[in-house]
A and B are shown apart, each in its own frame.
Chain A
Amino acid sequence: MIEWAPFVLTFKLAAVTTALLFLMSVPLAYWLTYSRYKIKHAVEIFVSLPLILPPSVLGFYLLLAFSPQNAFGKFLEQYFDLRLVFTFEGLIIASILYSLPFMVQPIHSGLKMLPSSLLDASYTLGKGRLTTLFKVLLPNIRTSLITGIVLSFAHTVGEFGVVLMVGGNIPGETRVVSIALYDEVEAMNYGKANLYAITLLIFAFLTLLVVYIVNYSSRLNNQRT
């Protein structure tokens, strides 16, 4: 029988990461879309880096940064009593950085696709930036928001390299499903490994199915217009 603790931990990690990522990504994507500062292109590259960077590279540098032997890790431990190496909190920060493009990019593209006249119309109707964002922009990029949420959640569920580097393999703390799967393979328990693997496979399939359904119904709506 497989353990359920890694599943609970994985979904807890994915849920917290997705929620925090959503809160961070909306203002970031808004800034990337409407800012006129040239530095935004550099930020855009930084946000997209995890798409091509090997997860172990990101994990390695985060491990160094979080380590209490180095300045940042020492600072966190001294002033906030917070240790990020081999802890759940560390995994959350690593997952946020790792899944950042999966949330920011759909929202950014959604905002870019909206006609600029919607923003102009809202301003000339006396509304400020926040009202425009919450009442006009976000409701009109619902598909992008759902895509971002689903992809970020799924990407966090499937991460391995970053988790192994930053979190290690501590049951109940950092032992997520992908690590448990690796552990079972190492111990030659292929039956158990298969159960972990097939669950992740089904989950990945269902995730993509949701994304396709959402995009398909949105395309249908657009065609009707």
Chain B
Amino acid sequence: MIEALLKKKLVASQGDMNLDLRFTIQTGELVTFYGPSGAGKTTMLRMLCGLSSPHEGYITVDGEIWFDTTKKINLKPQSRNVGIVFQDYALFPNMTVKENLEYALPRGESRSIVDELMVVMELTNLFNKKPEFLSGGQRQRVAMARALVRKPKILLLDEPMSALDTTLRLKIQDYILRVHREFQLTTLLVSHDVLEVLRLSTHMFLMDNGKIITQGAPGEILPVQALKRMLNELPKSNLQQ
């Protein structure tokens, strides 16, 4: 189970913003964080994996404290068992697909996990290719496979499908569901796409301006939000007419 309280004053493009998030995620869940750009979603992921620190708060994972301002604990990213797929995939251009995966292997660890992931993510034919020669979908699969080499408990996905077309998105969504189940992960997905949220997650957090507005089953939250948006737009349309 992940329990987090994250507070930080951020300087965003639209002005200063107070990020103030409190959430609990059950082990094995696939949850999405949905909201407009600048809502603080990526910052939240960076805080979970230790690349950014909240000014105040805590992060505990299955009872283990990763971050706590009152206890002055802040585990380095290297010590947090978490895999992350960045928006730009962040594949190392100097390494082949296989080398990218092998780079993530902890010292002395068997290479069998690399071979297994190459098969699961259908990368076997691409093992010797450098990232520059891969398509968007292939890069995405390599990034996901690389994030899983350390056998993390948690997988963080930062809008992993934003650069892909619809057909590829559906295919990558299948991969996400597959690895989520096969590797028994707790997966946090940041997304802009309503269909993605509905198809993938069992629980969603709706974020805006650094806060969680509401949370629950996507099937219940999203129709209400869509209706609200339509109602908000109605007077404007009438005025225009």
Contacts and interface: CB of A to CB of B under 8 A. Distances in A.
Interface of A: 115, 117-118, 120-128, 135-136, 139-140, 221, 224-225
Contacts of B49: 124
Contacts of B180: none
B94 interface: yes
A115 B94 contact: no
B90 A126 contact: no
Contacts of A126: 78, 104, 106, 150
B51 A123 contact: yes
Contacts of B92: 118, 121-122, 136, 140
Nearest to B91: A121
A117 B94 contact: no
16 contacts: A117-B87, A117-B88, A117-B90, A118-B92, A120-B84, A120-B86, A121-B92, A122-B103, A123-B78, A124-B51, A124-B78, A124-B147, A125-B149, A126-B104, A127-B103, A140-B92
Contacts of A115: 88, 90
A125 B146 contact: yes
Contacts of B106: 126
Contact of A124 (B82, B87, B132): B82
Q: Which among A117, A121, A128, A224 has the greatest number of chain B C-beta atoms within 10 A?
A: A121
Contacts of B83: 124
Query: Main SS of the interface on chain B?
Result: loop
Given A126-B106, A126-B150, A121 B90 contact: yes
Contacts of B223: none
Contacts of A122: 92, 103
Contacts of A125: 103-104, 146-147, 149-150
A117 B86 contact: yes
Interface in B30-73: 46, 49-51
Contacts of A124: 49-51, 77-78, 80, 82-84, 147
Contacts of A121: 84, 86, 90-92, 146
Contacts of B84: 120-121, 124
Interface in B18-33: none
B93 interface: yes
B7 to A, nearest CB: 21
Q: Which among B46, B90, B106 has the greatest number of chain A C-beta atoms within 10 A?
A: B90
Interface in B123-161: 132, 146-147, 149-150
Nearest to B81: A126
A126 B78 CA distance: 4
Contacts of B150: 125-126
Q: Which among A124, A125, A139, A221 has the greatest number of chain B C-beta atoms within 10 A?
A: A124
Contacts of B103: 122, 125, 127, 135-136
Given A115-B90, A125-B103, A225-B132, A120 B78 contact: no
A189 to B, nearest CB: 51
